[in-house]
A and B are shown apart, each in its own frame.
Chain A
Amino acid sequence: MASSPVVDLRGVVAVVGRFPALAGVDLRVGSGEVVLVRGPNGAGKTTLLRLCAGLLPVTDGHAEVLGVDLAVAGRDVRRRVGLLGHATFLYADLTVLENAVFWARATGVTPDDAVAALDRLEVPARVRDLPVRSLSTGQRRRVSLAVTVARRPELWLLDEPHAGLDATGRDLVDGLVAEASAAGATVLFASHELERAEAVARRIVTIAGGVVTDDEVVRRSSDAGVGGEVSGDP
């Protein structure tokens, strides 16, 4: 272990409603790692990502993210992570630019950062003054990603990041993940598009029934040409 893990979960249980969506997850993820979380529907992937974002309470076990004990101060990690969920996290009646600027200010970055992120995600200038509700699913997804990119998170939590995107958009996501990892950020993402996702990930964690059933390193960081520590327990 070269450094303390970014994600350190030991026997983590998370009950959503009355259902134990996570039933004793053990997972350690190091700095700069790109980890694919795969599993069938209802396996607990989304719950795992939301828990790591500090949005869900830890029912049992020990959960530490970015050095913060989630049971003690889960809210403290929220500003340091970037979560891309199934929802877009956008106001449908605000324009693309208004959304980007609002979330930039809300997360403590500048409007210029927001515009740069829209440029990075190749959101066309002609749609930036349109209300989000008039955009296609793919365009909304790009805007949502831009908002996540603008805040420069230390830990990226991406739930089905390729969903709804065209080929160019998917390539952009892969490029962003590689860039984030190269910059030292950690990426944890869930995907059903296994072929593409496995090409991006350096480690694949399989989850089923709320527990980790498999954990394998598929590419070392030196192979990928990016920095970081592989600190899992494969």
Chain B
Amino acid sequence: MIRDVLLVARKDLRLEWRSRVGVGQVLPFALLCVLLFAFALDVDRGVLQEATSGLFWVVVLFATVLVVQRAFAIEADDGVLDALRLSGLAPSAVYLGKVVAITVELLALEVVLWLAVAVLYDTTLRGWGLLAATVVLATLGAAAAGATYGVVGLRLRGAETLLPLLLLPLLAPVLIGATSASDVALGRSAGPGWPWAAMLGIFSGVYLLLGSVLFRPLMEDP
């Protein structure tokens, strides 16, 4: 099982590296969003700093939609989804492999985004333990939910526009939890941060379980 998960994840990451869609399109899009928020709120630097966590995670969720779309578009080309169904790979292994690849891509993106936020929003990054846990758990949750809905998008017409409609409301708990925990880590909020991180962990766990179970029927022809 682990071998198959890693096989799919390695393949997806290799494809991503080759196509340069992440580096050439998703990353510039995310950086542009960060920059536009800075332009929009620059008149009051205090507001920008107060809203850093929320703005950061909104951008990450937008990027998640793009990364998920890309992760499943490669399976829609030239009948590859049928080949996956014909292979001996367990659907849950395909799902988890995709989650791993999406998570790695998003984590790489978030490292760059945090640096951009630190510079453009004049934000000091701190609370490293909580911040790191929040980033990992929120990203895993977004990837787990995204991969579950990404395969649904393969079967639907107009998936490009439908996926954000399906996915973004679903990711609202990630946005709320990650923003709250990041605010605590960055010293913007005095409340406890770890319960929010724990909530993100629970969200991730639930979606990993759901996705592993649902991926098999979702891969099939309706």
Interface residue ranges, A against B (CB under 8 Å): 50, 53-57, 75, 78-79, 81, 83, 85-94, 98, 102-103, 105-108, 131
Contacts and interface: CB of A to CB of B under 8 A. Distances in A.
Given A94-B18, A106-B89, 11 more contacts: A55-B82, A57-B220, A57-B221, A87-B80, A89-B80, A90-B78, A93-B15, A94-B11, A94-B15, A107-B87, A107-B88
Contacts of A93: 15, 18-19, 74
17 contacts: A55-B86, A75-B85, A79-B87, A81-B86, A89-B79, A89-B82, A89-B83, A91-B74, A91-B80, A93-B18, A94-B14, A94-B18, A98-B14, A102-B7, A107-B86, A108-B88, A131-B18
B221 A55 contact: yes
Nearest to B86: A78
Nearest to A131: B18
B44 interface: no
Interface of B: 4, 7, 11, 14-15, 18-19, 74, 77-80, 82-89, 220-221
Contacts of B15: 91, 93-94
A88 B18 CA distance: 19
A172 to B, nearest CB: 21
Given A57-B221, A106-B7, A87 B89 contact: no
Contact of B85 (A55, A88, A131): A55
A105 B7 contact: yes
Contact of A79 (B4, B74, B79, B86): B86
A22 to B, nearest CB: 14
Nearest to B4: A106
Contacts, number: 68
Contact of B80 (A54, A75, A90, A98): A90
Contacts of B77: 91-92
B78 to A, nearest CB: 5
Nearest to B82: A55
Given A56-B221, A90-B78, A91-B15, A78 B85 contact: yes
Interface of B is mostly: helix
Contacts of B86: 53-55, 78-79, 81, 83, 107
A75 B15 CA distance: 27
A53 B87 CA distance: 11
B214 to A, nearest CB: 16
A83 B86 CA distance: 8
A57 B79 CA distance: 18
Contacts of A54: 86
Nearest to A86: B79
Contacts of A103: 83, 87
A79 B221 contact: no
Contacts of A102: 7, 11
A105 B83 CA distance: 13
A90 B11 CA distance: 12
Nearest to B21: A93
Most buried by A among B11, B18, B83: B83
Contacts of A94: 11, 14-15, 18
B21 to A, nearest CB: 10
A131 B15 CA distance: 10
A85 B82 contact: yes
B11 A91 contact: yes
A65 B11 CA distance: 31
Nearest to B79: A87
A183 to B, nearest CB: 20
B89 A92 contact: no
Contacts of B221: 55-57
Q: Which A-B residue pairs are the 10 nearest by beta carbons?
A: A87-B79, A89-B83, A106-B87, A93-B18, A87-B78, A79-B88, A78-B86, A108-B88, A107-B87, A89-B79
Nearest to B78: A87
